[in-house]
């Protein structure tokens, strides 16, 4: 989607039939620190189907590789425990610089390291 600003990027998340199920974005990109804030929203009835996980992976790939970002932050509400768990399982780390939210952080270096450690697709050998 047209970002409307050089500091923001917005993407629709669609199912296999092309119907929108959510949005993924980063905004408030700061050119000096190459830092932005993450936002992923999945329609309530479409949650727990892998859309958020896949969108996160694609968005981080774009941000760190094509866009040239260095740090992705997500200020998650303190009461949003499931959001915090999801991002931590994706490799985000807690950044204690804020107390009003649970600030989670992913660096380019950490993302690339985690990506390189993921096993490739399994190979099936036939006898």
For each of the chain's 127 residues, which pLDDT tens digit applies? 666 677 889 999 999 999 999 999 999 999 999 999 999 999 989 888 989 899 999 999 999 999 999 999 999 999 999 899 999 999 999 999 999 999 999 999 999 998 887 655 544 444 4
**Residue in 19, 67, 8, 9 with CA at minimum distance from that of residue 42:** 19
This prediction has a pTM of 0.83
Q: Which residues, at least 6 apart from 122, have a Cβ–Cβ distance to it below 8 Å?
A: none
> Which domains are delineated in the chain?
9-114 (3.40.630.30)
């Amino acid at each position: 989607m047209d970002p409307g600003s050089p500091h923001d990027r917005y993407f629709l998340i669609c199912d296999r039939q092309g119907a929108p199920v959510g949005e993924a974005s980063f905004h408030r990109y700061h050119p000096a620190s190459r830092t932005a804030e993450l936002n992923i929203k999945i329609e309530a009835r479409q949650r727990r189907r892998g859309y958020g996980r896949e969108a996160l992976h694609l968005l981080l790939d774009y941000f760190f590789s094509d866009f040239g970002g260095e740090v992705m932050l997500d200020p998650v509400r303190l009461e949003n425990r499931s959001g915090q768990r999801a991002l931590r399982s994706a490799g985000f780390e807690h950044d204690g610089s804020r107390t009003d939210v649970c600030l989670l952080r992913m660096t380019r270096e950490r993302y690339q390291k985690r990506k390189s450690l993921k096993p490739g697709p399994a190979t099936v050998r036939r006898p």
